[in-house]
Amino acid sequence: MAELSARHGHAAPAADRGHDGAAAARFDALILPHLDAAYNLARYLSRDPDAAQDIVQDAFLRAYRSFADFRGLSPRAWLLAIVRNCHATWRMQHRRAPQSAPLPHGDGEAPEDAASLLVDGDTPESLLLRRTEAEAVRALLEHLPEPLREVLVLRELDELSYREIAEVAGVPVGTVMSRLSRARRLFADLWSRAAPDGEAVP
Amino acid sequence: MSTPVPEAGPCAAWEGLLNGYLDGELDAAHVMDVERHLAGCPACAGALQRMTLVRRVVSQDDVRWRAPPALRDSVVAALARERSAAVAQPLARPSGIAALVGRLRAMLPALRQWSIIPSLAVVAAALLLVVLPPRGGSSLEEELVAGHVRSLLAEHLTDVASSNQHTVKPWFGGKIDFSPPVVDLAARGFPLAGGRLDYIGGRVVAALVYRRNGHVINVFVWPAGSDAHVDRAFMARAREGYTLLNWTEAGLTYWAISDLNTVELKEFQEDFLEALPK
């Protein structure tokens, strides 16, 4: 990844003049390091690289303005909760027909049949025609209904605990558990269809 | 929930536990249950294997998106602008009460949603039982939520079941080193269900149990000691679908917790305070 090289840019700007300099420094130390995680979530939620940038920009401003209220959650979970809200706002403002997967059904009521998630002429095999395995995984993830995609990303990529995911997603822990179950089941199903003789377990 | 998956699915009752097992979210007893079950159930063992595969495949580093350098720059620049603006013209922060009211108002839609789907809350509570207390730094609020859920699930709502305050109050005598006030709020729509002892923050505390229609309110009481960092202003929190209210009165710390919405729980608190012997 080309972006890798620029990962650790200048993290803390010298903007800590003024009476809230300490808070600013604290923000830079606690929140700014989670920029990649914020972008990752925004990107998976929106499935749109430009929108993801706007969402993250918006989220950081909101986070900075409400930093005084930060407590309890881990810094990462707190920021991700804000990213999620900013995504919801963006979604409302750009209410447009989803390009690929069907809209999430209500409160995570996802279709249980993995094949029904494949639209746009995609077949499991065509998904695997991506250049690398990582790209295929990304494509499969993007096919999961949003509530399921969200918990899977928060769990497997951000390694949040169930409680943290519950706080970020604003749902009870039980819902997190059931969504995670379904997300893994669907993903495993899609993956085994896509790679029948490769990775799939017998 | 029947799915036409090629492989035999896991036993329906175990799927949630298998996920919790994989994620390290189970307590020791449930870990042992799962391992015992896995030893004798190929379907569940296969399901766990598939879940592990999903984890390995999804958590590859290249699957994670990374912020483009341009985004990093523009975020840093936007923060810098924000800071210089804040120095020039400090934002007037809303004063305590106004901020609190605002926050409560912001919570309301979410809380309403909870009350619409009580069955979901029950399922959530049932599943919560097997979820470990958070690794490291368990907060008081989490303990309170856990205490509340435990009381609902373990059929251990009360040690002394009585709607009579003159039965419940003396029951605590000799069991704890303070005497929690027990008031009768049946006339206000919060009948007393009883009391019990609970264990919060490393000490034995009194729990008073009230009901409101189908809902249960646990009121945890202990002496406001050195940990009385809470001022008299009440605090409301929403946690995992539960509402918590905290206040301090006459040297005792109170935490009321329920799946009632904030407004109703606040009503309860006001009635409770009003009924206290002056």
Cα radius of gyration (chain B): 24
Total domains in chain A come to 1
Measured distance CA(B238)–CA(A78) in Å, rounded = 15
pLDDT at B73: 92
Helix residue ranges, H only, B59-204:
69-88, 96-116, 118-128, 140-153, 165-172
Helix (H) or strand (E) holding A93: helix A75-93
The CA-based angle A169-A175-A179, given to 5 degrees, is 85
Count other Cβ atoms within 10 Å, centred on residue B231.
10
Scan residues 31-60 of A and list those with Cβ closer than 8 Å to B: 32, 35-36, 38-40, 43-44, 52-53, 56-57, 60
Are the beta carbons of B1 and A184 separated by less than 8 Å? Answer: no
Summarised one tens digit per residue, pLDDT across range B19-75 is 999 998 888 888 889 999 999 999 999 999 999 999 999 998 899 999 999 999 999
- Under a CB-based contact definition with an 8 Å cutoff, are residues B233 and B248 in contact? no
> What span, in angstroms and rounded, lies between the C-alpha atoms of B154 and B161?
15
Contact, B86 vs B78, CB < 8 A?
no
End-to-end CA distance of chain B: 57
DSSP reduced 3-state for B225: coil
Would you tell me which residues 74-113 of chain B have a C-beta closer than 8 angstroms to some C-beta of chain A?
74-76, 78-80, 82-84, 86-87, 90-91, 93, 110
Counting beta carbons within 10 angstroms of the beta carbon of residue B9, is it exposed (0 to 12), middle (13 to 18) or buried (19 or more)?
middle
Query: Of B245, B241, B108, B246, which Cα lies nearest the Cα of A167?
Result: B241
In a domain, A109, yes or no: no
Q: Domain with A34 in it: what CATH number?
A: 1.20.140.160
Average pLDDT of the residues in B249-272: 86
Instruction: Give the pLDDT confidence score for residue B202 in this predicted structure.
Output: 77
Q: Which residues contact A175 (CB under 8 A, 6 or more apart)?
A: A107, A108, A166, A169, B120, B124
Residue of B nearest to A201 (CA): B50
Q: Are B58 and A144 in contact (CB under 8 A)?
A: no
Instruction: Residue window 107-146, chain A: list those with CB within 8 Å of chain B.
Output: 107, 112-113, 132-134, 137-138, 141
Q: Provide CB contacts within 8 A for B138, sequence distance 6+.
A: none
Q: Do residue B25 and residue A162 have CB atoms under 8 angstroms apart?
A: yes
Per the structure, the complete domain to which residue A52 belongs is given by 23-95+124-194
The rounded distance, in Å, linking the Cα atoms of B239 and B233 is 19
Q: Is residue A10 part of a domain?
A: no
Max CA pair span of chain B: 69
Q: How far apart, in whole angstroms, are the C-alpha atoms of residue B65 and residue A41? A: 8
Distance CA B236, CA B100 (A): 9
CB atoms within 10 A of CB A155: 25
Residue A29 token pair? 């130390």
Q: Are B116 and B16 in contact (CB under 8 A)?
A: no
| Res B117 pLDDT > 70 | no
A192-201, B8-17, B22-31 — which is least confidently predicted? A192-201
- A89 in B contact zone (CB under 8 Å): no
Task: Say whether pLDDT at B132 is over 80.
Answer: no
Tell me the residue type at A37. Answer: A
- Model pLDDT, residue B131: 46
A201 → closest Cβ in B46, B141, B241: B46
Contact B66 A7 (CB under 8 A): yes
Amino acid letter, residue A119: V
Bridge partners, residue B242, by sequence = B239
Greater pLDDT, B156 or B141: B141
Q: Is B241 on the interface with A (CB under 8 A)?
A: yes
* Record: contact B57-A191, CB cut-off 8 A: yes
Give me the interface pTM, i.e. the ipTM. Answer: 0.75
DSSP-derived letter for residue B8 is P
Mean pLDDT of chain A: 77
Mean pLDDT over the full length of chain B: 77
Q: Tell me what the mean pLDDT of segment B244-254 comes to.
A: 85
Rounded-to-integer distance, Cα B251 and Cα A105, Å: 50
CA-CA-CA-CA torsion sign (B33, B36, B40, B41):
positive
Interface probe for A, chosen from B2, B3, B49, B83 (most Cβ of A below 10 Å), is B83
Looking at residue B179, its pLDDT comes to 87
Our measurement of the distance from residue A22's CA atom to the centroid of its chain's CA atoms, rounded to an integer in Å, reads 30
- In chain A, the residue whose alpha carbon lies closest to the alpha carbon of B69 is A6
Contact yes or no for A119/A100 (Cβ under 8 A): yes
**Residues A11, A33 contacting (CB under 8 angstroms):** yes
What span, in angstroms and rounded, lies between the C-alpha atoms of B186 and A120? 61
Residues in CB range of B265: below 8 A, 6 or more apart: B217, B236, B243, B245, B256, B258
- Section A24-40 average pLDDT: 90
Q: Determine how β-strand B252-258 pairs with β-strand B215-223.
A: antiparallel
Location of structure tokens 């009350």: B115
Between positions 167 and 186 of A, the ones with CB within 8 A of B are 170, 172-175, 177-178, 180-181, 184-185
- For residue B128, what pLDDT band results from cuts at 50, 70 and 90? very low
The fold for domain B140-275 equals Phosphorylase Kinase; domain 1 (3.30.200)
Q: How do the domains of chain B map onto residue ranges?
A: 14-59, 140-275
How far is the C-alpha of B98 from the C-alpha of B113, rounded, in Å?
A: 24
Q: Is A162 among the domain residues?
A: yes
What is the percent of chain B with per-residue pLDDT over 90, rounded to a whole number?
22
CA-wise closest residue to A164 among B60, B142, B17, B105: B142
All residues at 6 or more sequence positions from B153 whose CB lies less than 8 Å from its CB, including other chains: B125, B126, B129
Interface of B with A in 215-234 (CB under 8 A): none
